[in-house]
Amino acid sequence: MSNRLKSWIRQFAYDLGLMGALHRLRNRRTLTVFMFHRVLPRDSVAYRHAEKEFTFSLDGFERALDFIAKHYQVVDHDAVKAAVDGQGRLPSRAALITFDDGWRDTLLYAREPLARRGMKAVLFLATEVPTLKSARWWQDQVVQARCDEKGWHRLLDKVNLPAPPLSQAQLSIAITVALSRLTDDERHRSLDDVARVEPMPRQMLFEDELPQLAPVIALAGHGHTHAPLSAHPDALSELVASHQHLQHWGGDSWSMSFPHGAYDERCLALAREAGFTVCFTSDPVLMRTGSALSLSSKIGRIHLPENQWTCERGRLSHPKLATYLFLREHAS
């Protein structure tokens, strides 16, 4: 079957309401947690250099929110906590909108479209981020270095790693953990000569901007330095620091998501020891909400990209979004 015919059938099924009807039946007792990272105007310098897998254009984000408004009932962070605690029930086809990391564009570009639609969201904040002085986030520089073979090898030479041979994915995790344990000045001394881009305004939130997110976007945890916790030698200290910063800023210190989606049973136990009673993962599943039991305290999220999986002719496509989302696995 040709791509054009598939596209026509998908569009026809969506316009006729068949896909929406399937969703209303199949997913009526589920919570879908949407994971966003960056939202930027297409013509900005920041968009040109951003990692596209985790970046939405502003117009694409508007279309995504229109789709969510049509097919879901958006709830806030507190409603999910109440469901986990057995103190409330979520509506049919519930949805929670989340952002990761602590990019300024969450405030500058994502907050207003949410507020205009009466939607609430939560930012899983790497709590070190607002205290950093650099215009660029060091982890963004690691991503850039990884895309440049020469820069990547120069970075490997600067970071002492374990002797056993590592895969590329393991190397990336090991480098991120190693850099996370340095001061920010030390990190940038390692990174500035291997991952340079044209000057741009500060990309991450300032500490004094955090109150401006409210009441639309709540704050929750995402580690402290955003190091992968499953590979970190002192993951508990990372989690405790995150919890303490959230308490200082008046955030929702009962909730967190795992940086890089990296976690195991040990990480779950340490998160709870640090005070996080609800843990969000990057497991791409829909959460069941209809049983007599309370919603699980380990909640999956769906990464929503703006790419070939969700776009048609360069524009975010509602029929493609329906195909991408409506048949997701239900958590067991």
- Tell me which residue of 164, 166, 134, 163 sits closest to 152, measured CA to CA: 166
Mean pLDDT of 66-84: 97
pLDDT category at 188 given cuts 50, 70, 90 is confident
For the chain, how many structural domains are there in total? 1
* Residue 168 belongs to a domain: no
Per-residue pLDDT tens for 57-66? Answer: 999 999 999 9
pLDDT of 331 over the 70 cut: yes
The pairing of strands 298-299 and 38-40 is unpaired
Q: What distance in Å separates the CA atoms of residue 82 and residue 61, rounded to the nearest whole number?
A: 28
Average pLDDT over the chain, rounded to whole?
Answer: 92
pLDDT at 14: 95
Q: How far is CA 163 from the centre of its chain?
A: 32
* Residue 143 belongs to a domain: no
pLDDT category at 292 given cuts 50, 70, 90 is very low
pLDDT category at 5 given cuts 50, 70, 90 is confident
Per-residue pLDDT tens for 242-278? Answer: 999 999 999 999 999 999 999 999 999 999 999 999 9
Q: What is the CATH number of the domain that holds 249?
A: 3.20.20.370
* Residue 169 belongs to a domain: no
pLDDT of 162 over the 60 cut: no
* Residue 201 belongs to a domain: no
Q: Is 74 within 8 Å of 101 (Cβ atoms)?
A: no
Q: Is 192 within 8 Å of 184 (Cβ atoms)?
A: no
Higher-confidence position of 27 and 2: 27
pLDDT of 39 over the 90 cut: yes
pLDDT at 19: 96
Q: What distance in Å separates the CA atoms of residue 155 and residue 157, rounded to the nearest whole number?
A: 5
Range(s) of the domain holding residue 48: 3-125+211-222+234-325
Per-residue pLDDT tens for 147-157? Answer: 877 777 788 77
* Residue 191 belongs to a domain: no
* Residue 34 belongs to a domain: yes
* Residue 195 belongs to a domain: no
Lowest average pLDDT, out of 37-41, 136-140, 192-196, 218-222, goes to 192-196
* Residue 198 belongs to a domain: no
Per-residue pLDDT tens for 294-311? Answer: 678 899 999 999 999 999
The model carries a pTM of: 0.95
